[in-house]
Amino acid sequence: MSLMLEMSDKALARNIPLSVQVDLTYRCNERCVHCYLDHDDHGEMTTADIKHLLDEMAEAGVFILTFSGGEIFLRKDFFELLEHARNLTFCVKLKTNAILIREREAARLRELAVDSIQISIYSHRPEVHDAITLVPGSLKKSLTAIRFLKSQGLKVTMANVLMTANAQDYPGVQALAKEFGVEYTLDPTITPMMDGDRSILKLGVGQNALHQVFRDPSLVGDADAFCAIAAPPGEDTLNSIPCSAGHTACYVSPYGDVFPCVQFPLPTGNVRQQRFIDIWQYSDRMNEVRSIRLKDLTTCTSCTHVSSCTRCPGLAFMEGNMRGPSSQDCEKSFVRTGVPSANMLSKQRAAANLVQIRALPALATA
Amino acid sequence: MSRLYVARNPQAAARSLDGEMMIMSGRDSTLFTLNRTATILWQSADGTTPLDEIVTRKICPEFEVEAEVALRDAESLARELASHEIMHLSEAPIDISSKRNPLAGDTQ
């Protein structure tokens, strides 16, 4: 077991929020077609609000702090907040499109000992990347920033969200990452808008592209092992937690709302009204999320994939039930193994019933 | 014999997890955990208090150990932490006026 996993286990046992993502703003200088955020400013936390939150988070035992957005460099107080965070000895990670990072900013990030910077790159082709960000020249600017960051010796990851518009370009981004000497990560999940609007999900890749991804050893290692059907779950698995959301991790929005995760829009309290640690420890909603074990899931417990599925409780929540399945993950399990999930089979049965019901009026008029 | 001074490297990230100190190296993100003695050393490493004083004032009262033995162990520990660049070690006081971790070790 790695030391980080060991510390996560200790944090879990002691109910300590080891890792928190704070979105500093939802404002952005890109307009990515698949983005789940409302970019208008509805009353962001002030500099003082955020510094106070960081003080409380340090006291609560938070170690890994991710600053994300929106575009974090649009906050004029960004470096003031970052410096405050580093004074509190957080391990700071950043998520950014990097458009606003020049030599001076890169040098300051090095000086403040930022742990790593994740930058969204959608394609190696400007016409594809820029058509997703809706900002001409954005790929060139992001890549220039990566050069500045690398010249400072900073750790950079290219994050490649996959959708139909760039489904065939990920090998190009992988090659780009190799050329730049940075890490690469791919995410084939499109997240519904935070207000529940699911229309952007249509941008997601289809099963053929997913199949290609899951069979690509450069992404998954041993493809046969990755795509194998998992053994039936033991008692330990059924008693395990679905993911770290609400257990050792949580998310704070630019407005101070605390959620179990950035993908889990269940409000549990607001740090402008309550102490962070009180929300973490005493929120009924946070404790409800925390109480769920795999054995408590309504449909998934009986599913073949229960022990290997990437089921996201937040996506399940957005479908209507935090204990229910996440259809996007059902589809991934199906594409990966060729075996439909319990949820998919249940929907097929329901659809068959609907066909029968629709046929009845026709019989009546015959 | 010259005295040794130790200072936390402000490039490192640090947090105490229920008394157990986690340190992440600013050089290569390697994660370390410190035992109780090392945690005391880390928390006391302000750059101005000599190592022998840290040992006699903070470590010896906490553990039943002879000062000479404790100092030898603490020096070895400090050198190891310095080799990972999570601590500075010097024969002169270390100016860490630019240090960014006033709360290191004081937080939970």
Nearest-neighbour CA in chain B from A245: distance (Å): 19
Average pLDDT over chain B, rounded to an integer: 86
Q: Which of B29, B32, B103 sits opposite A115 (nearest CB)?
A: B29
- The tokens for A32 are 């990515």
Q: Which residues pair with A185 in a beta bridge?
A: A159
Which 49-78 residues of chain B touch chain A by CB within 8 A?
Answer: none
Residue A154 dihedral angles phi and psi, to the nearest 5°:
-85, 155
Can you tell me the mean pLDDT for A186-214?
A: 92
Q: What is the pLDDT of residue B62?
A: 87
Partner-chain contact B15 A86, CB within 8 Å: no
Q: What is the pLDDT of residue B108?
A: 29
Residue A170 has pLDDT above 80, yes or no: yes
Q: Chain B residue with minimal CA distance to A60?
A: B108
Can you tell me the mean pLDDT for A239-246?
A: 95
Q: Which of B33, B107, B108 sits opposite A3 (nearest CB)?
A: B33
Say whether residue A103 is in contact with chain B using an 8 A CB cutoff.
Answer: no
User: With contact defined as beta carbons under 8 Å apart, do B5 and B92 qualify?
Assistant: yes
- Beta-carbon contacts of residue A5 (< 8 Å; ≥ 6 apart): none
Point out the least confidently predicted range of A139-153, A329-343, A350-364: A350-364
Partner-chain contact B100 A116, CB within 8 Å: no
Instruction: For residue B94, give Cα distances in angstroms to A156, B47, B86, B98, B99.
Output: 32, 5, 14, 11, 11
Q: Which of A24, A25, A38, A34 is nearest to A134 (CA)?
A: A34
Residue B102 has pLDDT above 60, yes or no: no
Q: What is the pLDDT of residue B106?
A: 34
Say whether residue A243 is in contact with chain B using an 8 A CB cutoff.
Answer: no
Q: What is the pLDDT of residue B27?
A: 87
Residue B101 has pLDDT above 50, yes or no: no
C-alpha triplet A307, A212, A237: angle, nearest 5°: 5
Chain A residue numbers with beta carbons less than 8 Å from the beta carbon of B13 are 63, 89-92, 113, 115
Radius of gyration of chain B (CA): 13
| % pLDDT > 70, chain A | 96
Residue A190 has pLDDT above 50, yes or no: yes
- Indicate the residue type of B67: A
Partner-chain contact A115 B100, CB within 8 Å: no
Q: What spatial distance separates the first Cα and last Cα of chain A, rounded to whole Å?
A: 68
Instruction: For residue A24, give Cα distances in angstroms to A52, A109, A236, A270, B85.
Output: 14, 17, 38, 15, 31
Q: Chain A residue with minimal CA distance to B101?
A: A87
Nearest-neighbour CA in chain B from A39: distance (Å): 32
Q: Which of B26, B103, B108 sits opposite A60 (nearest CB)?
A: B108
Nearest-neighbour CA in chain B from A33: distance (Å): 34
Q: What is the pLDDT of residue A360?
A: 54
Nearest-neighbour CA in chain B from A272: distance (Å): 21
For the stretch A275-329, pLDDT in tens is 999 999 999 999 999 999 999 998 999 999 999 999 999 999 999 999 999 999 9
pLDDT tier at B98, thresholds 50, 70, 90: low
For the stretch A33-74, pLDDT in tens is 999 999 999 999 999 999 999 999 999 999 999 999 999 999
Q: Chain A residue with minimal CA distance to B17?
A: A61
For the stretch A99-145, pLDDT in tens is 999 999 999 999 999 999 999 999 999 999 999 999 999 999 999 99
pTM of the model: 0.92
Partner-chain contact B22 A116, CB within 8 Å: no
Q: Which residues pair with A67 in a beta bridge?
A: A22, A94
Partner-chain contact B18 A14, CB within 8 Å: yes
Partner-chain contact B13 A59, CB within 8 Å: no
Say whether residue B89 is in contact with chain A using an 8 A CB cutoff.
Answer: no
| % pLDDT > 90, chain A | 91
Can you tell me the mean pLDDT for A67-86?
A: 98
Chain B residue numbers with beta carbons less than 8 Å from the beta carbon of A116 are 29
